[in-house]
Structure 1
Amino acid sequence: MTQTHDDLSDLARTVAGNLRLLRTQQGLSVERLGRLAGVEPAVLAGIEAGGGVPAIDTLWRIAKVLEVPFSSLLSAGAAGRTTVLRRAETKVLASHDGRFTSRALFPFEGERQVEFYELRLAPGAEEQADAHATGTTENLTVSRGTVEIVTGDGPHTLAEGDSILFEADVPHAYRNTGDGEAVLYLVMTYAEPVIV
């Protein structure tokens, strides 16, 4: 699956606008958000200027600090009743080294409490994930390969067809322990917002 420059430019513009809006709605300066998220203010300013799509771990840290679902940074508007997502048109986010990728299997339009992803890990790849918002859970199923998922209560080895449900509001990790690419499907569920 190849993403065109236009696809990435569209995604960069969407992330830029959403980040700017969410940051200003919460009264945060670029510098303050950068400190809280552990991201250089110059990097945040570059993202807001549409200078590119940041690595997936950077987006996760920003979403956590802003206390919004990850998809809020990627959302491009309200979704209709039926949406077909063509593989060639989906956006893929990658780790800094490109050995871990995440493809959203839901439309970016609109906010949601549940998100569905395809994850791919190269042989030997490991992805460390920061804690997500309080009450977030992850339900993973291994479609191909053998992986180790490290949760708050330790490591769990999963083979093809195995699944795991865990609390993702603590740091966790995904490791490909096999010789080939590992493919996983992830359903992430955020806690219902508390209305006071």
Structure 2
Amino acid sequence: MDIGARLQWIRKSKDLSQRELAKRVGVTNSTISLIEQNKVSPSVSSLKKVLDGIPISLADFFTLDLDAEARDTPFYSADELPDVGSNGIHYYLVGQHRPQRQMCILREVMPPGTDTGESMLEHDGEEGGVVVQGEVEVTVGDQVRVLRAGEGYYFESRIPHRFRNVSDEDAVIFSANTPATF
């Protein structure tokens, strides 16, 4: 996926200049330009920060070109779970087109050595999850713990947090957060 071209198209469709978006986000307009030229690959947290300035959710950003017709079904096959991830981490979103969706449910797949970025994530709401495979170092505020299969987490998402796969296999997490951030 061409993240830069997608960002540029969405920014222009919202009638925003690179300068205005950069001002809203608190970065230089050259940063926006480099992302749009695909000369910089932003982390998930950095991309979310840029998209918050538009505003558009990560899910809408990655799935905008998909059929947006609302679905009224409680079931989703594996091929109906779009990957809304970046930087090598896969976030498979459940119920993307569900009308008035108020929570986000993800199957997360983190290859060995991947993490959510050097910048800690922060957003409104709560989130929780369970590691089903591998080992994931979870940092919440000043607390750090390595979670293994069967162990979980639950915290207020306004507390800065970060996830890192510290194992030599894919780490898989099932997570949910509310309100929906993807």
- Superposed CA deviations along residues 83-116 of structure 1, whole A, max 9, x for unmatched, are 64332343224433x2x22111222465533111
How many angstroms apart in 1 are the aligned matches of 2:82 and 2:26?
23
How many angstroms apart in 2 are the aligned matches of 1:126 and 1:161?
20
- Quote how far apart the aligned CAs of 1:46 are: 6.3
How many angstroms apart in 2 are the aligned matches of 1:169 and 1:175?
19
1:81 has 2:72 as partner: yes
- Quote how far apart the aligned CAs of 1:58 are: 4.6
Aligned position for 1:3? none
How many angstroms apart in 2 are the aligned matches of 1:130 and 1:84?
33
Q: 1:18 to 1:67 in 2, by over 3 A?
A: closer
CA contact (8 A) 2:113 2:165 kept: yes
Greater Cα offset, 162-171 or 72-81 = 72-81
Q: Equivalent pairs: percent with the same residue?
A: 20
- Quote how far apart the aligned CAs of 1:119 are: 1.1
- Superposed CA deviations along residues 15-57 of structure 1, whole A, max 9, x for unmatched, are 7766555x44xxx43322134164733356669xxxxxx8644
Q: 1:44 to 1:159 in 2, by over 3 A?
A: closer
Q: 5+ residue gaps in structure 1?
A: 1-7, 48-53, 192-196
Q: 1:56 to 1:131 in 2, by over 3 A?
A: closer
1:159 has 2:143 as partner: no
Q: 5+ residue gaps in structure 2?
A: none
For residue 32 of structure 2, the aligned residue among 32, 36, 41 is 41
Alignment: residue pair count: 171
TM-score between both structures, scaled by the size of structure 2: 0.70
Over the aligned positions, Cα root-mean-square deviation in angstroms equals 3.6
